Every structure is written in C-alpha cells, then in structure tokens.
A and B are shown apart, each in its own frame.
Chain A
C-alpha cells in the first residue's frame, strides 16, 4: 500500500483562493528563474458535483464527484508555447509538469504571430457580477434533489403513461484562479444547477419522445415544472406524424431552434481563430450586411445570474458587452489575447475560454441577447399557409461554407396557420448566409435557452426534403 503523499489534498476541502495562490507560487517561482521562459500563465480550477439520475420515473443512482487541477502555459521569446497539467498536487507532480512544460515548449514551432499573453485590465473595468454563485448548492443533498425533481416523477400519473421517463439533476460548485507573469492574479466562484428529462410514449405502435432541460446559476431559477411539461407535451404531440412533399417552405424557428440552428453557428464562426485560419463562412463578412435591419445581437457578460455571466475571461481579462450584429451588419469577432495580437493593434475583447485546467486556450461567447421584433409568435404562425415549425435539429452546418443540411428531429407541419402533426423522416437544407438574409419576422417574445435570450424567427424559404 502506498503511503499518503503529504502534499496531496482533497482539494474540495481547501476550496479557497489562498490555497490556489500558494499552489501557483510553488510552480511559477522556480520557473521565473529559467531565462528561456518569457511568459508564464497558471490556470487552476476545482469543482464538486452532486447528481441524481433517474430512469423509468424512479431514482437510479446518486453520485458525488470531485475534480481539481492545475494547468501551466509557458512561452519563450520565439512564441513557442508548452502546456502541461495535472490533477495531482504533490510536489513531485508539480515538478514534473514544470519540467515537461519546458520540453513541450521546445518541441513547438516558433510562432512569429505571438505578441503577448494577457495584460491586466484597468481595475475599474472589472465589473462585479452578481448571482453566479449559489451557496445553497454547496451542501445540497440527494434528499433535497429528490424533492426538487418530483414534478418530473409526477408525469407517471398523467393521461398517457410514459413508457420511459429518464433524466437527471446535478448541482455543481466550482472555482477558478488565474495567475500570469504580466500581473494577473484573479479568482472567482460559480455554480450551476441543471435538470434534464426525456419522456417516451407509445400509441398504436407509434413511439414518440420528448425532451427538455434547464440550467441556471441559482437553484431558484431552474424551472423543473416547465421541463416536465415541455417534454411531456412534446412526446404527446409527436404521436401524430406526417411528412411534407419535397419543396421550399417558410419555417418558424422556436426559441430553441433560433438558439441552436441560427445563433450558435453564428457565434461559432465569429471566433477569430476560425476566421484567421480561413475556417469560417463569416470570415470575409465583417462590417457587411448579413441580415435584415432589425437583426441585432448583443453579447452581454454582466447580466446577473446567467450561465454566460463572468467578470473576467479565461485569461483574466475584464469582460464587457459587445454588439455582434447591429442593423443587420456583422460588427465584431470574438478575440483572445493571441488572436488579438495577431491583428496587430486589436486588443482582446475578453472572450478567451478554457473548458478546464487541462484544456487549451480557446474562444467562446457569454450571454447572447437577440433583439425582439414586433409581432407575437402566434400571429407569425397564423400567417403561414403551409410550412414548418422547427423545434430542434441535432445537426450543425459546415462552418467553412455555411452549408446546412440536417434532420428535423422535432418539428411540425403548419397548415392554414395551425401547428399540426410532427414531421417524420424530414430534412431541411439551406446555406446559413441565406438563412440570415431570409429572416422575415422576429417575435416580440423572447426565451432563455441556456445562455441565449432569443425570440421566435420566421425564415421565408427553406428547402424541405420528405418521403412524400
């Protein structure tokens, strides 16, 4: 049996800024003496998750998971970068990541486009954000979670008894500490509560499924009743199936479809790294018209209590609101310090991301607000003689060309202004550039879908392929 390493620790019990500061110091102090290294960045995070999964409408299992680690990036004067990480906080493991970081750095190519790692923003630009940490989630226990998910279990008593009823609830708390050799030393805590449910029903040998989920920083903002009702209603509605003759139809996007079919590809393709490497269909459309005049999207990192809310990004740079699309014109790309440096005089706009201590530096969005229109979504549907109401497609476009062809996983026929049976074996296709240009109407109502606050949207024409 191995002896306990005196420097190891159950990190959750030491879940505070001071511990991470001390850990980072153990790493950067010896590295600062290495003349080959010009820049050092340390990213640490820890999390604790309590989760219950249910199946057939009953609790299936409960678990508690702890995770913590430290990631180290070093860069030399040639722009060569080495990165190492570990979940082991023993002195020997820390020495190992320091040693290997140098080896990994020397294996990298020189990078003449590298300028600098992140510099601290002026202290006044770090906007305090509120309600992103819910202390209730620190000690939530399985019994409490079981009470919270009762509305989902209550679906067992509805008119159509579900054949399957599965899903889960998880509560996570986490913290991140960032230090770099340009003077950044910053820490914050966050939390997430999530619920998901999937219902299956069957009638006359026709199976149908419904799903929904909700996530929020605060437990009180997770609407379990809505999740239960949405997935049940979706399953029931799917019992009546239809298809459409192959052709071109108007399509009403639900907020879920707006978020995942329209907005998610847009934010993915304004990632400056994609743009700089010719991997984005929006790369040459900055300051060009991409949609109608009433098409407007703002990225706002400071809305209290939302999933995309943060005071600083994954490099420690202060976040700030960014207008992405204004009057139909594409206004900005997302940058981290590397892509900003590559642009010469461009300063990072605070969109660096890292999935965890072991992930490389990336780019991502915060909260996305799409401006509402003037019409109710019901009246948008009522005006469609024959078309499609799209709830969800699991597909993504080709980000290089913008071409999209995918399955309508959850969608319905609209006939004479009424949403009718569910579409089966029906596919849709369009280029995203055309989809933005064909935005004909935007509803005056919006809904939160994860970190996006989005309306219903009507696309005037989309190619639909069906078996009929």
Chain B
C-alpha cells in the first residue's frame, strides 16, 4: 500500500492480454453456431473524477474497471451478452449466450437480411498524450482545477462556483469475424465550470465546458474559463427575460453546432430512417435546405472530441457528406443499416461502452462555412436576436421538431447588439428551419460534448459558423 504512486499508476493499465490468435477460437465458435457476424469488444480503463463546490472538494474519485461483450447476428436477429472475466472459458460461455439470443431473436424478425462483409485487418491506434494522465498525480490535477476556479472569483458578486472534471484512459480491443483486430488506446479530458452571480435578490448562473482528446495538457487549455463563465453570469444579472414570438435571429457557432447535431444529425442516422422514425426517410437526393447548407460528419478529425479511428463494430471511420448545397446526399451508417440500404458502412456504429449495443451515432458533425461575416448578418436585422451558446437541446425525429435552450441572447436593434436576454428557447420544424438559413459565416468552430441516445452517451463534436435565419419561433416571457 505504500509503494510509489507513479509506478502504481502505470501498472493500472497493463495492455489487455489478447492478441488476434487468442481470440480466433471465437471464429470457430461462430462457424459452429452458424453465427453470420459477431463482434467481441474488450475494454479496461481508468477514470478520475474531481469536483469542487465553492473551492471545497466535493468529490475526489478514481475508478478502474474491465469487461467485455459479444454481439452475435444471424438472419436479422441480434443477441448480446456481457462478461467480466478475461479467460477463454468465460468468453466462450458469453459467446454461446449471445448466440442463443441471436438465434431466438431471428425467429421473430420482420425481414431477414445479411450483414455485408467488410475488409478487416490488424490495426492499432494510440491517442498521444503530451502529459500523461496516468502519471499526473491527483494533487497536480486538483491544483490546476482550483486555479481555474479561483479565476471566477474576480468580482464580489460571484457567490458560488462548481467544477466537475473527468479524465479517462481506456484501452479497447475490437475483434470481429471480418478479420478485424483493433487495439485502441484512447484518452480524454472533460471539464465543466459553473459560476453563479448574485446582486440583491437577483441570481444568475452560467456554465462553460471544455473537452479534448489527449492528455493532461488539454486541461491547461482551460485556463481562463473561470473568468469567462463569471463574465457571463455577471452580465446576466442585467438580463431581461427573452420576449416570446417570431424573430430573425443569428445563431453563434456553438448554437449552430447544437442545432445541426440535434435537429438534423439525429434524423440522418440511418437506423431511424429505416425504422420509419425520421423525417428524412425517402428524401435521399432531394432538397432539404437552402442551397447554402452543406453538412458533414467527420470522425477522422483527430483533435476533436468525436474522433474515432474505427467504430465499435470494427469498421474504419470515414467522413460522410450528409447534405451538399441543400441536397440530402447521405445517411450515417452502421453495418446493419449499410447492409439493408446496400451502401458502404460509414463507421458510425458506436457504443457508449463495452456493455451496450452499438447504434448509429454521430461523431464530429458540422455545418460547413459559407462566405458571410457577422457584421453583414447584424446589418440585416432591424429587430431580432443574436443567440449565444446553449444549455441543452433535443429533437423529435418523427415529427421533425426540435428545441434548444440558449445560454443567453442579445437583442439586435437596427443592426446593433443591445439588451442581453436570459432563458430564451428556439424551436421549429427542422426542414423548415434549414430553408430559413439565408446567410452563413465564413469560419467555423466545434464544441465538445456528450450525445445521448437510447440511454447511451458518446463523446461528440458539433459546430458550424454564425448563421442567419428568418422568422424563427422564440420561447420567452
């Protein structure tokens, strides 16, 4: 118990002790059990979570875990089972469990189909860490967090702050019967800071987040965020409740990203298209937005939060053009959806951990830049809103409605930014809104976050440029 911390940390994450040969017995089992496709996903990792409330540690925790799952497929039916022990007998038992469930599911499926085989190979990916998360002590991490939190208290009206920090180092092995054996060592940092300001009886809060793939060096980039969060919470002390009604608006890159992700990206996930639960069903190669609109999902952006070199089913990731000049040109695919639609899989079959099933998910999704600038957009507005950042958003893909709560907004009067508003929400019918985009900014930014779907959360990037929209419904007082 008293051994050196650094050596202990390094020993926490010994490589998962499997090579391809160790797992090839699963292909024999698949053949015996007439399983057409399977993937086996092994994971082990370490998570460190630190949180502070008003400069006092609320939580200082570290966890280690390991486990695996097997997903088996036959004739359109899937079976899925998880296991805890990394030995051949347990893995074989888990395989049989998944195979039993797959054969059972196949009895009931609507349409039998096959998974189209993809090319596999042995690959290895390691996210580089300039400063290793594993060898950085919890004291060092806590010290930097406290420094960032301290920045928030530059004004006596700041009465409270909270900081939540998580870093993870995870090793995954993805093995399938399409000859894929991939070992991926990933690491990332995610951080949220909230600042609360009070003046008289008035109290306002603002939160800001920061997420990066890499090592501890990425937290260094978060210096200054405490002050930025407090700038906004103090500014909101002078805010008015947003007016309700219909306005011309400008969305900033962070809100644009949320809009593109929530309102449009989810409807472009081919599983919802196939199940009849997307407004984009049957609209491939048709116009879905103004000709200014081009949307991309790109998992290969290595410095972005949604980066994945290979998806959870073993398919190498690749960029997907979803909309080009207003025309819907592609969906996001898993192996299943690609097989059913007879296209190549895009590597978007992602699972939010080894113990859950892959789904079609976005990675880094953004609206491509146009050729306007913010000043030009402001000049177009007599009475409207500049909408900044977001708190949350969601979408009903069946009806194509969406809703985002923005972090703050400014009134635009005759092209000038004036009164700050709080608690404004933006809503609409997605395909209608995409037609209302009349100007797009000339530079884009991506934000980091976690996307929820079916109870799973995966890291994503989302973004775009400033965007001008006509006649949007705004919820306010």
Contacts and interface: CB of A to CB of B under 8 A. Distances in A.
A200 B398 contact: yes
A387 B88 CA distance: 64
Interface stretch (B105-113, B294-302, B321-329): B105-113
A107 B138 contact: yes
8 contacts: A10-B84, A52-B105, A61-B77, A66-B83, A87-B66, A142-B104, A405-B405, A406-B425
A278 interface: yes
B475 A465 contact: yes
Contacts of A164: 275-277, 398
Interface stretch (A78-86, A181-189, A378-386, A435-443): A78-86
A395 B89 contact: no
A97 B64 contact: yes
A60 interface: yes
Contacts of B403: 394-395, 406-407, 409, 427
Nearest to B244: A465
Nearest to A164: B276
B53 interface: yes
A353 B101 CA distance: 34
Contacts of B159: 278
Interface in B73-91: 77-90
B332 interface: no
Interface in A102-132: 102-109, 111, 113
Interface string A270-294: 0001000111000000000000000
Given A59-B105, A429-B476, A278 B203 contact: yes
Given A61-B77, A166-B277, A406-B405, A104 B8 contact: no
Nearest to B103: A62
A395 B425 contact: yes
A1 B85 contact: no
B84 A409 contact: no
A158 interface: no
Contact of B244 (A5, A81, A96, A427): A427
A82 B78 contact: no
Interface in A35-74: 52, 55-69
Given A278-B160, A429-B244, A1 B84 contact: no
B105 A405 contact: no
A110 to B, nearest CB: 8
B162 A65 contact: no
Contacts of A57: 110
B429 interface: yes
A107 B427 CA distance: 44
Given A69-B65, A405-B405, A62 B428 contact: no
B308 interface: no
B220 interface: no
A375 interface: no
A185 B477 CA distance: 52
A324 to B, nearest CB: 22
Contacts of B49: 360
Contact of A5 (B85, B102, B405, B473): B85
Interface of B: 1, 3, 5, 8, 12, 17-18, 22, 49-67, 77-90, 97-98, 101-102, 104-105, 107-110, 137-139, 141-142, 146, 159-160, 162, 196, 198, 203-205, 241-242, 244-246, 275-277, 279, 355-357, 391-392, 394, 396, 398-401, 403, 405, 422-425, 427-429, 473-477
Residue of A56, A69, A465 with most partner-chain B CB within 10 A:
A465
Give the bracket for the number of chain A residues in contact with chain B.
Answer: 35 or more
Interface string A195-217: 00010100000011100000000
Interface in A1-26: 1-5, 8-11
Nearest to A360: B59
Given A81-B59, A360-B51, A398-B422, 12 more contacts: A4-B89, A56-B110, A61-B79, A69-B65, A95-B1, A98-B1, A100-B62, A107-B137, A207-B398, A395-B425, A396-B392, A405-B476
Contacts of B244: 246, 405, 427, 429, 463-465
A279 B160 contact: yes
B277 A86 contact: no
Given A83-B59, A278-B198, A463-B244, A2 B87 contact: yes
Contacts of B58: 360
Interface string A120-150: 0000000000000000000000110010000
Contact of B398 (A10, A208, A466): A208
A88 interface: yes
B160 A277 contact: yes
Contacts of B276: 56, 162-164, 200
Given A59-B108, A400-B205, A107 B142 contact: yes
B217 to A, nearest CB: 19
A151 to B, nearest CB: 16
Contacts of B138: 103-104, 106-107
A5 B244 CA distance: 62
Contacts of A350: none
Nearest to B51: A360
A137 to B, nearest CB: 17
A55 B18 CA distance: 35
A277 B85 contact: no
A428 interface: yes
A60 B78 contact: yes
Given A63-B80, A429-B476, A107 B101 contact: no
A207 B400 contact: yes
Contacts of A424: 399, 401, 429
B104 A143 contact: yes
Contact of B477 (A55, A96, A207, A463): A463
B61 A107 contact: no
Nearest to A81: B60
A81 B57 contact: yes
Contacts of B162: 277, 279
A85 B196 contact: no
Interface string A335-361: 000000000000000000000001010
A68 B65 CA distance: 10
Contacts of B242: 405
B427 A425 contact: yes
Contacts of B65: 69, 85-88, 358
A463 B242 CA distance: 12
Given A83-B59, A465-B476, A467-B473, A279 B205 contact: yes
Contact of A59 (B85, B109, B357): B109
B82 A425 contact: no
Contact of A96 (B8, B473, B474): B8
Interface string A297-340: 00000000000000000000000000000000000000000000
Contact of A429 (B102, B146, B475): B475
Contacts of B475: 405-407, 427-429, 465
Contacts of B146: 109
Nearest to B82: A65
Contacts of A278: 159-160, 196, 198, 203
Contacts of A403: 241, 422-423
B68 to A, nearest CB: 11
B200 to A, nearest CB: 13
Which 3 pairs of residues, A with B, have the shortest CB-CB distance?
A427-B475, A465-B244, A61-B78
Contacts of B394: 394
Contacts of A67: 82, 355
Most A CB contacts (10 A, CB to CB) among B17, B356, B399 go to: B399
Given A30-B1, A83-B60, A84-B62, A63 B203 contact: no
A103 B137 contact: yes
A405 B473 contact: no
Q: Name the residue among B49, B198, B473 with the largest chain A CB count within 10 angstroms.
A: B473
Contact of B425 (A80, A143, A407): A407
A88 B66 contact: yes
Nearest to A105: B60
A401 interface: yes
Given A58-B109, A64-B82, A164-B398, A108 B423 contact: no
